[in-house]
Amino acid sequence: MFIVMASPECAPIAKAGGLGDFVHGLCRELASRGNAVELVLPKYDSLRFDRIEDLHKVHSDLWVPFYDGAIHCDVEYGEVDGIKCFFIDAHSEHGFFNRGKIYGDADDPDRFAFFSRAVMELLYKSGKHPDIIHCNDWHTGLMPVLLYEIYAGLGMDRTRVCYSLHNVGHQGWTGPHVLHMNGLDAGRLMAAERLRDPGNPGAVNLMKGGIVFSNFVTTVSPRYAWEIQHTEQGMGLQDVLQVHDHKFGGVLNGIDYDTWSPQRDTHLPVRYGPETLPEKAKSKTALRARTGLAEDFKPLVAVVSRLDRQKGVELIRHGIYYALEQGCQFVLLGSASSPEVNADFQRIKDDTDASPDCHLELGYDEDLAHLIYAGADMILIPSVYEPCGLTQMIAMQYGCVPVARRVGGLADTVFDANYSDRPFEERNGYVFDDFTYAGLESALGRAIGLWQRYPEYFRQLRVNGMRQDHSWNGPAQHYLDIYTHIRT
């Protein structure tokens, strides 16, 4: 099959979170099964160019329609861990992709609406007829609209679209000008059954457009699929997802075992697996040395997260003090985009800096993340909502036991040591329901107690997690089945 993936992110060259990992892992797995896979990304000035092989210009004459005129783009090509990538390089005074970052500007809807048009124009002008275009999140929600409204009539009538929702907390709310920008009929498309935002009749909702116009819509876990159809987690999209229920489902993400495997990870002092678990202690020692923690007989609890309301920052803060009170050590690696949240965690850092048992690192650090998963005993994930969550799957792979709130993909992957109805060998962590201090303590307290009093049972939980298959193997097959289903 010929599959074109369009995304605002791809690990490791342009990653802000799990979407980057998804694109990297799924593209590689699909290609390894003999499919022709091409990825299209914006050519951000912030790309990790050192990780792109043989980047060179392949088109210098792509003119992308923009209001009554057109913007001149170059297209470059290079490979990222074997993935064939095309990069749209836009030349205009807007500097759409020259912001030193991926997201976070007021004109983000314009930037990505333009990107969506540029990808479609590139496919059309280069005469490509993919079987499937796989679009991701609101940033590329306009692509199926453009395909149906414009490009199908220009001959791209056999291409089908699979659209994946990675986080409906961000839907690309904007004004009808993005439709005018792209030569689309705003009058017709602003109808309630098309792109009109359910909560604001004057606004365009790009994610809703993607849902309505795609041939199939997925989200990143079965539980999140249910939550966004039936609870306020849908953030206003519940109705449209129910109307389109016949073409909607959840597919749990995988993790890339080439990147995330303690048997192969070059970030670790010594590699290990379920049969050589005692070697994990060397990573704990290395992590303590790296973060200035004392060498002591204590469990090490960690957080690796964006510090965002979604991730349960209040409970993360409480978890730090609770774990320290219970005789643990704590390492946090967290990046906050909000200055207030950053200042809040800076205060906690100042407050705990003298402690030999606590280290907070505020920022994004891929290398340290690897060492934390390997060195920590438990990882805390108290999310308000979690579409899939990769941290719990990565942590389990490294024998680090997750303590997680039972929402979204966390509910689909973390099974409580005491209360799960699963067989013992599938139990791999601790879960709680209530988003309260008491809820968190109920799970974290049990995990700490087990580490302290029943080490053999704790070891078994680690091994259970390490033996579970979270590779891309199963999910990639699921996506291929979806592609096949919508193609015929």
Binding footprint of ligand ADP on the chain (CB under 6 A): 17-18, 21, 304-306, 333-335, 364-366, 369, 388-391, 394
Which residue is nearest to ligand ADP, using beta carbons?
Answer: 18
Q: How far is the CB of 425 from ligand ADP (least distance, A)?
A: 25
Residue 64 or 390 having the CB closest to ligand ADP? 390
* Terminal CA-CA length for the chain: 12
Q: What is d(CA 298, CA 63) in angstroms, rounded to the nearest whole number?
A: 61
The sign one gets for the Cα dihedral 400, 404, 409, 413 is positive
User: What DSSP state is assigned to residue 149?
Assistant: I
Q: Which of 347, 337, 330 is nearest to 308 (CA)?
A: 337
Q: How far is the CB of 5 from ligand ADP (least distance, A)?
A: 17
Residue 86 or 415 having the CB closest to ligand ADP? 415
SS3 state of residue 374: helix
The helix or strand, by DSSP H or E, that contains position 19, with its residue range, turns out to be helix 18-32
Residue 328 or 379 having the CB closest to ligand ADP? 379
Q: How far is the CB of 335 from ligand ADP (least distance, A)?
A: 4
Residue 215 or 335 having the CB closest to ligand ADP? 335
Residue 385 or 432 having the CB closest to ligand ADP? 385
Residue 86 or 472 having the CB closest to ligand ADP? 472
Give residue for tokens 């050590």: 329
Q: How far is the CB of 258 from ligand ADP (least distance, A)?
A: 13
Q: Which of 472, 276, 473, 229 is nearest to 374 (CA)?
A: 276
The helix or strand, by DSSP H or E, that contains position 339, with its residue range, turns out to be helix 339-352
Q: How far is the CB of 40 from ligand ADP (least distance, A)?
A: 21
Q: How far is the CB of 444 from ligand ADP (least distance, A)?
A: 19
Residues ≥6 apart with Cβ < 8 Å to 20: 9, 10, 11, 12, 14
CB 4 within 8 A of CB 134: yes
Q: What is d(CA 149, CA 172) in angstroms, rounded to the nearest whole number?
A: 20
Residue 244 or 306 having the CB closest to ligand ADP? 306
Q: How far is the CB of 10 from ligand ADP (least distance, A)?
A: 13
Beta strand 358-362 with 36-42 is unpaired
Residue 120 or 388 having the CB closest to ligand ADP? 388
Residue 238 or 305 having the CB closest to ligand ADP? 305
Q: How far is the CB of 413 from ligand ADP (least distance, A)?
A: 11
Q: How far is the CB of 60 from ligand ADP (least distance, A)?
A: 35
User: What DSSP state is assigned to residue 327?
Assistant: T
Residue 314 or 365 having the CB closest to ligand ADP? 365
Beta strand 83-91 with 69-80 is antiparallel
Beta strand 2-6 with 132-136 is parallel
Q: How far is the CB of 333 from ligand ADP (least distance, A)?
A: 5
Q: What is d(CA 11, CA 14) in angstroms, rounded to the nearest whole number?
A: 6
Q: What are phi and psi of 366, to 5 degrees?
A: -60, -40
Residues forming beta bridges with residue 57, ordered by sequence position: 76
Q: What is d(CA 38, CA 130) in angstroms, rounded to the nearest whole number?
A: 9
Q: What are phi and psi of 107, to 5 degrees?
A: -95, 25
The helix or strand, by DSSP H or E, that contains position 41, with its residue range, turns out to be strand 36-42
The helix or strand, by DSSP H or E, that contains position 291, with its residue range, turns out to be helix 280-291
Q: How far is the CB of 170 from ligand ADP (least distance, A)?
A: 11
Residue 12 or 65 having the CB closest to ligand ADP? 12
CB 152 within 8 A of CB 124: no
Residue 77 or 435 having the CB closest to ligand ADP? 435
Q: What are phi and psi of 196, to 5 degrees?
A: -65, 135
Q: How far is the CB of 41 from ligand ADP (least distance, A)?
A: 17
Give residue for tokens 């192969």: 264
